[in-house]
Amino acid sequence: MEYQIRLASAADTVDLAVLKQRVWAETYRGIYSDSDLDQFAYDKAEQAFGKAVESGTASLYVVESGERLVGYMQVGVPRRPFRDYEQEISLLYLTKDFQKRGIGRELFELGYQEIKGKGVLQFFISCNKYNENARRFYEKMGGALIWEDPDSPEKRDVQAKYHFEITEK
């Protein structure tokens, strides 16, 4: 499957909202409540992606295959501040059919290089504590677990955070 990675534009926000619903349903079914996933707020997601595209504090990338978006990632100032970190890779998602093809690694490397280019020596990534696939991926990318929220019945809000060092690779 051919694909390209590019910066998102304002024209992508509707497609990004649809994609977010799809990847969330694939990723979080059994973690988030069915009602959260089935009553997805497309308009709210579209607005959030619009703000991300226009923010100037982060880069929002999309993965496009043919005429459809199949993934996305944001890199830049943390969406939610954490400790003294200046940079974060966030929202790294791919549809199931595009996972395990090296695209996630390529996105991660793109984010890593962007942060490195800013002269920053460390960054973090957050993911849902119960998202085992993401956690294995971030550990494989060299992340060190630095924070884990305590268990909670509301699994949607429970996070794990990984620290990454910028090296001369």
Q: What pLDDT is recorded for position 169?
A: 59
DSSP 15-72: HHHHHHHHHHHHHHBTTB-HHHHHT--HHHHHHHHHHHHH-SSEEEEEEEETTEEEEE
As averages over each run of 10 residues, the pLDDT of the chain (169 residues) reads 96 98 96 92 97 95 97 97 97 97 98 98 98 98 98 92 90
Give the predicted TM-score (pTM) of the model: 0.95
Domains and CATH numbers, the chain: 4-165 (3.40.630.30)
> In angstroms, what CA-CA distances link 9 with 19, 59, 62, 103, 134?
15, 10, 9, 20, 26
Is residue 33 packed enough to be buried (19+ CB in 10 Å), middle (13-18) or exposed (0-12)? middle
Amino acid code (one letter) for 54 = E
pLDDT tens digits along 91-107 = 999 999 999 999 999 99
